């Protein structure tokens, strides 16, 4: 399945106001995800998050310098208002060009929503230095039937188009 960038942007713009409520509903999973990232990324690192949503995960890892990128302008507006000590940008990950490098690049549960995965990794390479670590998480596709059922039953956040 191909992913259309405009469809993903529209989906997450529609979801932006309820995004954190959906995450709270599935807090066990999102708390576990936060623990994983906190266990890997030392506090005070420079961190870039691709697909930052409302900025919660980036905030939780407590970077000295943190930049969040998302395709959804509405998500970025919420993130910037909630986390003024961090920087947020509206951008397609594959087109990302930044003049700085980061100690860590987080890509949490986003890869399946990207229209251009090879382009994204090319862009990420441009923000890495020799010691940068890229931390990527994604849902196991074997869970897809259960997750789709949970979406239909309104037990989990609707994901929209994804691979």
The domain spanning residue 10 has which CATH number? Answer: 3.40.50.150
Report the domain count for the chain: 1
Tell me the pLDDT tens digit for each residue of 57-84: 999 999 999 999 999 999 999 999 999 9
Residue 80 lies in a domain: yes
Tell me the pLDDT tens digit for each residue of 85-106: 999 999 999 999 999 999 999 9
Per-residue pLDDT, 78: 98
Residue 112 lies in a domain: yes
C-alpha 19: how far from its chain's center?
Answer: 12
The residue range of the domain holding 89 is 5-152
Burial class of residue 71 (count of CB atoms within 10 Å of its CB; 0-12, 13-18, 19+): buried
The pLDDT-based confidence of 155 (bands split at 50, 70, 90) is confident
């Amino acid at each position: 399945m191909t992913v259309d960038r405009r469809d993903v942007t529209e989906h997450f713009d529609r979801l932006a106001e309820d995004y954190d409520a959906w995450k709270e509903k599935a807090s066990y999973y999102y708390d576990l995800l936060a623990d994983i990232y906190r266990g890997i990324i030392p506090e005070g690192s420079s961190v870039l998050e691709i697909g930052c949503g409302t900025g919660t995960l980036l905030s939780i890892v407590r970077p000295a310098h943190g930049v969040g990128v998302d395709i959804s302008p509405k998500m970025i507006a919420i993130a910037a208002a909630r986390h003024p000590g961090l920087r947020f940008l509206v951008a397609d990950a594959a087109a990302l060009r930044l003049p700085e490098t980061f100690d860590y690049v987080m890509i949490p549960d986003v890869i399946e929503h990207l229209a251009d995965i090879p382009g994204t990794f090319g862009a990420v390479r441009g923000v890495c230095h020799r010691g940068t670590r890229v931390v990527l998480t994604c849902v196991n596709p074997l869970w897809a039937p259960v997750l789709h059922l949970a979406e239909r039953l309104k037990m989990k956040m609707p994901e929209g188009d994804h691979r």
